Amino acid sequence: MSTTVDYLLHLADNAVVLGQRDAEWCGHGPILEEDLALANVSLDLIGQARLLYQRAAALKGGGATEDSLAYFRDAADFRNYTLLELPHHGPLVGYAAADRDYATTIVRNFLYSALMVHVWDALTKSADSELAAIAAKSLKEATYHLHHSRDWLVRLGDGTEESHARAQAAVDHLIPYTEEFWTVSPAETAAVETGVGVDVRTLRAAWDALVNDALAEATLSRPEVRGYVTQGKVGLHSEHLSFLLAEMQSLARAYPNGSW
Amino acid sequence: MDTTPDALRQRVLAALDSLTDPEIPVVTLRELGILRDVRTTPEGLEVVITPTYSGCPAMGQIEDDVKATLAGLGIEARVVTQLSPAWTTDWMSDEAKEKLRVYGIAPPHATPAPEVSVVRFMRRPQAELVACPKCGSTHTVLSSQFGSTACKALYKCLDCQEPFDYFKPY
């Protein structure tokens, strides 16, 4: 049972962390329509996270709830991809600050939703019937997230000189983090063995085709990837996750069990 | 009063039939397919609802509305949330779709038939041909894939200039 819980937490943490990141645009979107779009994408992701945490809590028992899993675990316990916790801008040195960059947001959402449409599609056949039901819903939502981010990827890449340069920089910055998708974690291996999870490596060709097709239409090039492969899904995170969680969890920790 | 389980069930169904969607008050929960069933079990009555979008903030309100209605009747019943089969806009009745249109929201088209996933996700998404709920023209254009709620996209009519919501197929 605990292998299923670990796998559910990986899926839930992905959704909640990206949901939190995308929500940072709420009230700050580049245009009103995109402000609304990102808030809606965020709501879908947080909704998916809730369903997954509820399922994990039910299997875990011992008084666990969706809130205890989302708000009372620390960064090292989170199992999300490192890609999803990065801020909305390129790499910076030391304490340098930067404005949010919409190209980074769009490219990240695209790379993730291009994976998740395939993951959710496969998980509709999960041996855990509750996860299969969540996957069937999430697939519908991820498909809209893919359409939205792909559309903007093409607009930015095949847009002005400035938007092209920023989209290309975001692709160059983020693609290396997607290597983590294909490095299978112990939790994933265990979930594949029980039929609960999907072996992500079997989805790679389909993801590659989708990404290459969109990048080509966006007149963007795909960088060669080598070097360090991030390991957020085994709990080894970048420095950014703790800051994200500090903000996300502060209210729940200041007022435990609070309600209104 | 008839207190057989079936009579009770009918009373509950009739009472819940008056409940409308909190954000689209012209259609009922039953017409939208959110209210799935009222069933009698050995433990008592169960009202089965299914969420629309995973993060739809109206779901909490809907559950509260159902509970308040049952409490008003003095009937003990559990509200059960059931995920499978996943809610789909295909469950909306034709009457409900017409009510949406009159209200100013273009009703959802049928969801596309399932295809091999690789093909489905690879295909470039095409904006759908959506008829303006005001003048009926299909000379319309997508302005944004997400509108005031996750379930709607924003369109604009190029003939009568009306900006409108399109309830997306889900």
Interface of B with A (CB under 8 A): 51, 53-57, 83-87, 117-118, 121-122, 124-125, 143-150, 154, 168, 170
pLDDT tens, position by position, B15-47: 999 899 988 999 999 999 999 999 988 888 899
pLDDT tens, position by position, B99-140: 999 999 999 998 876 655 555 677 666 667 899 999 999 999
Task: Tell me the longest C-alpha to C-alpha distance in chain B.
Answer: 60
Q: ipTM for the complex?
A: 0.87
pLDDT, position A258: 83
Q: What is the CA radius of gyration of chain B?
A: 19
Q: What is the CA radius of gyration of chain A?
A: 18
What residues of chain B lie within 8 A of the CB of A133, using their CB? 83-84, 86
What residues of chain B lie within 8 A of the CB of A51, using their CB? 54, 83
> Cβ B53–A47 below 8 Å, yes or no?
yes
> Cβ A209–B122 below 8 Å, yes or no?
yes
Share of chain B above pLDDT 70, in %: 91
What residues of chain A lie within 8 A of the CB of B85, using their CB? 136
Interface test with B, best of A43, A46, A131 (most B CBs within 10 A): A43
Query: ∠A68-A199-A211 over CA atoms, to 5°?
Result: 95
Least Cα separation, residue A99 to chain B (angstroms): 24
Least Cα separation, residue B37 to chain A (angstroms): 18
Q: Does A115 touch chain B (CB under 8 A)?
A: no
Eight-class DSSP state of A231: B
Mean pLDDT per 10-residue section of chain A, whose length is 260 residues? 91 98 94 94 97 97 96 97 96 80 97 97 96 96 95 96 97 97 96 97 96 97 93 96 97 88
Asked whether the predicted pLDDT for residue B6 surpasses 90, the reply is no
Task: Check if the beta carbon of residue B12 is closer than 8 Å to that of residue B58.
Answer: no
Tell me which architecture the domain covering A2-254 has in CATH.
Up-down Bundle (1.20)
Task: Check if the beta carbon of residue A230 is closer than 8 Å to that of residue A82.
Answer: yes
Eight-class DSSP state of A234: G
Interface test with B, best of A16, A22, A137 (most B CBs within 10 A): A137
Entry pTM: 0.93
Task: Check if the beta carbon of residue B127 is closer than 8 Å to that of residue B112.
Answer: no
> Cβ B122–A51 below 8 Å, yes or no?
no
pLDDT, position B124: 64
- Number of residue pairs across A and B with CB atoms under 8 Å? 92
What residues of chain A lie within 8 A of the CB of B53, using their CB? 43-44, 47, 137, 141
Residue with tokens 């009457």: B95
pLDDT, position A237: 97
What residues of chain A lie within 8 A of the CB of B121, using their CB? 114, 117-118, 143, 146, 206, 210
Strand ordering across the sheet containing B35-41: B35-41, B44-49, B77-81
> Cβ B150–A48 below 8 Å, yes or no?
no
- How would you write B16-42 as a 3-class SS string? HCCCECCCCCCCEHHHHCCEEEEEEEC
Listed in order, the ranges of chain B carrying CATH 3.30.300.130 are 5-81
Question: Domain B5-81: which topology?
Answer: GMP Synthetase; Chain A, domain 3 (3.30.300)
Give the start-to-end residue ranges of the domains of chain A: 2-254
Using 50, 70 and 90 to split pLDDT, how confident is the model at B8?
A: confident
Least Cα separation, residue B126 to chain A (angstroms): 9
Least Cα separation, residue B64 to chain A (angstroms): 14
Interface test with A, best of B62, B111, B121, B152 (most A CBs within 10 A): B121
Cis, peptide link before residue B85, omega less than 30° from 0 = yes
pLDDT tens, position by position, B57-69: 888 899 999 999 9
